[in-house]
Amino acid sequence: MEAQERLENLIRVLPDWFAANKRDLPWRADREPYHVWLSEIMLQQTRVEAVKGYYSRFLAALPDIPALAAADPELLHKLWEGLGYYSRVRNLQKAAQLILERHGGVFPRSWEQVRALPGIGDYSAGAICSICFEQPTPAVDGNVLRVLSRVLAEERCVDEPRVKRELTALLAACYPSPGAGTLTQALMELGATVCLPNGAPNCGLCPAGEFCLSREGELWRRRPVRAKKKPRRVEQRTVFVLRCDGALALRKRKSSGLLAGLWEFPNLPGHLEAQAALDLAAERGLRPRALERELERTHVFTHIQWDMRCFYLRCGAQAPGFTWVREEELDSRCALPTAFRMFREAMEPGRDGRPPSPENNSL
């Protein structure tokens, strides 16, 4: 059986399987482009379960494209707090502003116009155009690549752009319209719930089981072929939670680079010892009264790992050079990424200082 025929078989069996097995997800309630777009962007690098709450809160605060375009950036960051990859939400807003300027507030329908919006790549454009407008535009992400690579027993590395392009073209050649939106969602669903990335896929429950070339002999263990990942760079950082008269010291991060524009607890490269941390606080005019706690935590970004040592200092003066924020205000208004939020969580009784949120990537 040729690859094309195998894919046609897959496309034939998926709609019924999807109808019987799809999860009830909030963004599947309708095919409104704003909703599908928002969910696709939120779901990048993030688990479905984690996204549900964020999605509902975001839509409650910013129910449509004009509201998103006009939103205060501080509110945007707060709504995204803990999801990671914060450039996604800034690009959402830029795209919303462009939709107002160039498209009269109506979400564009052509793949090229959708693809031209900030933050939208081939995958998201394909997902939006197929799900919302029934266009035969595949959306090939890691989940879908895994399914294709296993069904076809693709021997080449799927991280090579040429291989990904060829698989996408093969799929596009047999994409149905109408039926494109269901197929896009069904492929994603199969990759997310049956043809799993870690551990054994559920081949016994898979609608592709009869013609998949990776089921026999557990070839799925070696498919897809992936490129070796570079090891993460490990950096040590010293973090200060400085408390004075019910307020905490914060700083705003630079407007570009890692965690751009977000709030942070004061921190510096390297690991200080406790005495050096107290001396530094004294030099900065903070009049440290007590070292209340010391905590070590690791936070993992995509390419970097921060090994953090945090000192909780009770201070006698709100020295300049910091933004002193009342604790309630910090929680309700300031977007503090998980790398720092976990030290705030550790101040609450009953918390052990581990991050409660899904974020492990915060670029």
Give me the helix-helix angle, 48-61 and 73-80, nearest 10°: 150
Contact window for ligand SF4 (CB under 6 A) among 90-98, 143-151, 177-185, 245-253: 143-151
Which of 3, 209, 258, 324 touches ligand SF4 by CB under 6 A?
209
Identify which of residues 86 and 220 has a Cβ nearer to ligand SF4 in the complex: 220
Which of 208, 242, 286, 339 touches ligand SF4 by CB under 6 A?
208
Which of 3, 61, 203, 278 touches ligand SF4 by CB under 6 A?
203
Kindly report the number of other CB atoms within 10 A of residue 20's CB atom: 8
Can you tell me the distance from the alpha carbon of 208 to that of 10, in angstroms, rounded to the nearest whole number? 6
Residue 293: name the closest of 321, 314, 316, 262 by CA: 314
Q: Does 286 bind ligand SF4 (CB under 6 A)?
A: no
Contact window for ligand SF4 (CB under 6 A) among 81-89, 92-100, 165-173, 200-208: 200-208
Is residue 134 within 8 Å of residue 112, measured between CB atoms?
no
Q: Does 239 bind ligand SF4 (CB under 6 A)?
A: no
Is residue 214 within 8 Å of residue 206, measured between CB atoms?
no
Which of 135, 143, 168, 214 touches ligand SF4 by CB under 6 A?
214
Q: Take residue 29 and report the two structure tokens written for it.
A: 């309630």
Q: Does 6 bind ligand SF4 (CB under 6 A)?
A: no
Is residue 114 within 8 Å of residue 129, measured between CB atoms?
yes
Catalytic residues: 40
Is residue 343 within 8 Å of residue 239, measured between CB atoms?
yes
DSSP secondary structure, 60-129, as one string = HHS-SHHHHHH--HHHHHHHHTTT--THHHHHHHHHHHHHHHHHTTSPP-SHHHHHTSTT--HHHHHHHH
Amino acid at 70: A
In the complex, minimum distance from the CB of residue 150 to ligand SF4, in angstroms, rounded to a whole number: 4
In the complex, minimum distance from the CB of residue 261 to ligand SF4, in angstroms, rounded to a whole number: 41
Contact window for ligand SF4 (CB under 6 A) among 1-9, 89-97, 198-206, 347-355: 198-206
Q: Does 140 bind ligand SF4 (CB under 6 A)?
A: no
Identify which of residues 212 and 346 has a Cβ nearer to ligand SF4 in the complex: 212
Contact window for ligand SF4 (CB under 6 A) among 37-45, 133-141, 199-207, 339-347: 199-207
Identify which of residues 21 and 305 has a Cβ nearer to ligand SF4 in the complex: 21
Tell me the CB-side half-sphere exposure of residue 60, using CA atoms within 13 A.
8
Number of residues that bind ligand SF4 (CB under 6 A): 15
**Site residues, ligand SF4 (CB under 6 A):** 147, 150-151, 194-195, 201-203, 206, 208-209, 212, 214-215, 220
